[in-house]
Amino acid sequence: MSQSGGFEFQGERNGESAVMEDKSSRLSWDEYFMEITKLVAMRSTCLRRHVGAIIVKDKKILATGYNGAPTGVDHCTDVGCLREKLDVPSGERHELCRGLHAEQNAIIQAAYHGVTIQGSTLFCTNLPCSICVKMIINAGIKVVVYLDGYADSLSLDLIEKSGVKLIKFSELRKEP
Please give the positions annotated as active site.
103
Collect all residues with Cβ–Cβ distance below 8 Å to 132 and sequence separation of at least 6.
Answer: 101, 103, 104, 155
- Nearest one of 65, 7, 10 to 36, comparing CA atoms: 65
